[in-house]
Amino acid sequence: MASTDQNHKLRIDFCGMKFNSPLVLLSGCVGFGEEYTRVAGFSNRDVGAVCLKGTTGSARLGNPAHRVYETPMGMLNAIGLQNPGVDRVVDGILPTLDFDETRFIANVSGSTIEEYIAVTRRFDDSPIDAIEINISCPNVKEGGVAFGNDPDMSARVVAACRAVTRKPLITKLSPNQTDIAENARRCIEAGTDGFAVINTLMGMAVDIETRTPVIGNNQGGLSGPAIKPVALLKVHQVHQVCKAHGIPIIGQGGVTTAEDALEFLIAGASAVGVGTALFYDPLVCPKINQGILAYLHRHGLDQVGQLTGSLSLNQSPVRHTPACGG
């Protein structure tokens, strides 16, 4: 990280892990942790943690093209959990990562509860710092969001993973469900240590010439600035459940600037995920860090953690119309 004597203000404790910055690079955006280091000036040290690509029990080829498509202020993706399988990740990739640079978080997915258990168990016996349970991937036919939209299934997956690991467990929640707060409550009971809020919103784009969906998988997950207001509300709602339990949240969805990150922190996040914004500016993270520091200075705050959940709701947000009408 760019050295200033203020950087200590950005440090947070997240599920017992020490993060240098509240920023977290999101799963699916940065491969297995090394890809973005191709860009001169990029450093994993600029972020508190890096979430690795979603990993399943055996290798997956993923979805057919097109997998990505730009939409207004965002993009659709349907990668389909392409990954080499957990054995290759643990044996072949983790040994190449530099754990001095940042914290690395595995992202676990599967078609069955048994697969979630097997992958979690394999990561438990590895140097990985924490495990993110992906019960919200919208782009696979089985598992993923099919589990995440059902609070009972969500809790079963979390409990099953909890039983086989003592590493910090972060549950990635789907916005594509009726009551995210109820789901969060059930996942806390099942033993999650933290949350990532939110995964992508399901969406579609249509090619009007061919009259077919642009995305090979027909539908995809919407990310980018377009989803930020949705994500902020979900973070606020989940924080209402979490705060009594001291459960931290990685708030994510369209974060592009320091101001975006600050909104998420104030709404209840302890850490802030950055994903799609990297595609536009690979060196965006140091800029967000500096912007957060400037805000802390301006508001006389010593630690970024003081912002978490500092939102003051407007009183009586529903105004009653006067009896005489108008």
Pairwise CA distance, residues 201 & 45, whole Å: 29
Neighbour-count burial of 291, counting CB atoms closer than 10 A to its CB (0-12 exposed, 13-18 middle, 19+ buried): middle
CB–CB of 307/268 below 8 Å?
Answer: no
Q: How far is the CB of 92 from other proteins (least distance, A)?
A: 14
Question: Quick one: 39 or 163, whose CB is closer to other proteins?
Answer: 39
CA angle, residues 61, 66, 68, in degrees to nearest 5: 95
Binding footprint of other proteins on the chain (CB under 8 A): 28-31, 34-41, 53, 61-62, 64-70, 73-75, 77, 79, 82, 96, 98, 100-101, 224-226, 276, 278-283
List the catalytic residue out of 15, 51, 137, 285.
Answer: 137
Pairwise CA distance, residues 33 & 76, whole Å: 22
CA dist list (Å): 73 to 24, 233, 253: 21, 18, 12
The reply to whether 161 belongs to the active site is: no
Q: How far is the CB of 200 from other proteins (least distance, A)?
A: 12
Residue 195 phi, psi dihedral angles, 5° rounding: -130, 155
Q: How far is the CB of 277 from other proteins (least distance, A)?
A: 9
Pairwise CA distance, residues 115 & 46, whole Å: 33
CB–CB of 216/193 below 8 Å?
Answer: no
Question: Quick one: 65 or 318, whose CB is closer to other proteins?
Answer: 65
CA dist list (Å): 4 to 7, 234, 286, 289: 6, 33, 12, 11
Rg (CA), the chain: 19
DSSP 84-128: --HHHIIIIIGGGS-TTT-EEEEEE--SSHHHHHHHHHHHHTSS-
Residue 182 tokens, joined: 């109820």
Active site residues: 137
